[in-house]
């Protein structure tokens, strides 16, 4: 995979911390609109900086990593696909289901690879948790809480609307923190039968909210907050025991299973950078021409986008 990076923010800077160590990926170029940041990020790397996206797409890359604000994902991904480039798109994939489906169809039509960069479903710990579900008996309740007071919330209250709290740009709790909860639950249990979102709305955006996902026999509660803080944890409760996750489901770094007989066992945790497994998987899939695995992951993304679309509708976020 010859990879070109799009963006200069924190997430792209994070990718540059580990990407050179992954077998099967060669980073050759970077595009961003800020020449000063672009040149700074490429100064100590053997990467060509572009300040023109069209020129960037004409370079020798075969895959584009879209690491810019949510509201720009659709446009930049579509342009990449139309130029014959595969794409890795940061979460959240797009702002609406129709755009996500269009990108999916465009990729499949042109036999290109298209992935959403979401950490948790690629982590080894995720498979460990999935394998332990059979030991819980009948799952009855799932609860995920990702509440983290935003560093931008005080500015928001003063009327300074940054992208993190701009509904038109994919801001708010649903598309930011709750996206990890949704990927986690849908990844374990597939699409829910019903979706209900109960947001706390401030200045037109959901600063926090409770999402209810209804499955046959159990309910999943996904809580996300950018206007409060609370212990970040998740539980999967069955009639024979529970799995408990300390910390966000984006990292799955501290997990254990406890059965009704009070026996407790720690599950293997992740001792690598949280983003490494996803990029390793993307590289392996592309380098091995494993198109069926790509389409499976892409369908998972569409399933998550369907949940988000229903949540927006029930929460009056349109």
> Left if phi > 0, otherwise alpha if psi is -120 to 50, otherwise beta: which for 148?
beta
Q: What percent of the chain has pLDDT over 90?
A: 94
- Residue 268: the pLDDT is 83
Tokens of 96: 């609406």
CA dist 241 and 257 (Å) reads 7
**pLDDT confidence band for 255 (50 / 70 / 90):** very high
Question: Radius of gyration over alpha carbons of the chain, in Å?
Answer: 20
Name residues whose C-beta falls within 8 Å of residue 57's C-beta, 6 or more positions apart in sequence: 64, 79, 80, 83, 85
CA dist 207 and 48 (Å) reads 39
- Residue 45: the pLDDT is 86
- Residue 290: the pLDDT is 98
Among 116, 134, 119, 139, CA closest to 253: 119
Q: What is the pTM of this model?
A: 0.96
Digit-coded pLDDT (tens) for 157-201: 999 998 999 988 999 999 999 999 999 999 999 999 999 999 999
CATH class of 121-274: alpha beta
Alpha helices in the chain (DSSP H): 10-18, 35-42, 53-57, 73-82, 97-109, 124-132, 153-157, 178-189, 276-287, 291-314
Digit-coded pLDDT (tens) for 51-91: 999 999 999 999 999 999 999 999 999 999 999 999 999 99
**Domain 2-117+277-303 listed as CATH 3.40.225.10:** no
CA dist 270 and 16 (Å) reads 20
**pLDDT confidence band for 46 (50 / 70 / 90):** confident
- The overall average pLDDT reported for the chain is 96
For the chain, the distance separating the N- and C-terminal CA atoms, rounded to the nearest angstrom, is: 38
Asked whether residue 270 carries a pLDDT value surpassing 80, the answer given is no
- Residue 164: the pLDDT is 92
- Residue 262: the pLDDT is 86
- 151 by DSSP, 3-state: which? coil
**pLDDT confidence band for 101 (50 / 70 / 90):** very high
* Domain extent listing, the chain: 2-117+277-303, 121-274
Asked whether residue 318 carries a pLDDT value surpassing 80, the answer given is no
Least confident of 17-31, 84-98, 207-221, 265-279: 265-279
Strand partners, 225: 147, 208
Between residues 265 and 268, which one has the greater pLDDT?
265
Q: Do domains 2-117+277-303 and 121-274 have the same CATH topology?
A: no
CB 66 within 8 A of CB 115: no
- Residue 44: the pLDDT is 83
Average pLDDT over residues 118-142: 97
């Amino acid at each position: 995979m010859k990879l070109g990076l799009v963006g200069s923010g924190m997430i792209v800077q994070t990718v540059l911390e580990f990407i050179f160590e992954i077998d099967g990926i060669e980073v050759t170029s970077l595009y961003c609109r800020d020449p000063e940041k672009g040149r700074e990020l490429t100064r100590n790397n053997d990467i060509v900086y572009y300040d023109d996206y069209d020129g960037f797409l004409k370079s020798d890359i075969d895959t584009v990593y879209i690491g810019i604000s949510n509201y720009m994902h659709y446009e930049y991904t579509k342009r990449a696909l139309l130029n014959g480039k595969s794409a890795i798109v940061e979460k959240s994939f797009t702002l609406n289901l129709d755009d996500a489906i269009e990108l999916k169809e465009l990729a499949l039509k042109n036999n290109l690879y298209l992935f959403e960069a979401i950490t948790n479903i690629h982590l080894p710990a995720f498979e460990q948790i999935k394998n332990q579900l059979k030991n819980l008996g009948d799952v009855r309740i799932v609860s995920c809480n990702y509440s983290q007071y935003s560093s931008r919330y005080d500015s928001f209250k003063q009327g300074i609307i940054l992208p993190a709290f701009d509904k038109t740009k994919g801001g708010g709790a649903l598309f930011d923190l709750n996206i990890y909860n949704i990927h986690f639950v849908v990844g374990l249990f597939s699409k829910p039968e019903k979706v209900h979102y109960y947001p706390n709305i401030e200045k037109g955006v959901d600063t926090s909210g409770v999402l209810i996902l209804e499955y046959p026999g159990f309910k999943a509660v996904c809580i996300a907050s950018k206007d409060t803080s609370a212990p970040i944890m998740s539980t999967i409760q069955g009639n024979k025991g529970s799995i408990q996750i300390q910390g966000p489901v984006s990292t799955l770094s501290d997990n254990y299973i406890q059965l009704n007989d009070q026996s407790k066992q720690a599950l293997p945790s992740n001792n690598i950078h949280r983003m490494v497994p996803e990029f390793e998987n993307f590289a392996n899939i592309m380098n091995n021409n494993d198109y069926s695995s790509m389409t499976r992951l892409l369908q998972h993304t569409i399933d998550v986008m369907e949940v988000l679309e229903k949540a927006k509708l029930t929460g009056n976020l349109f």
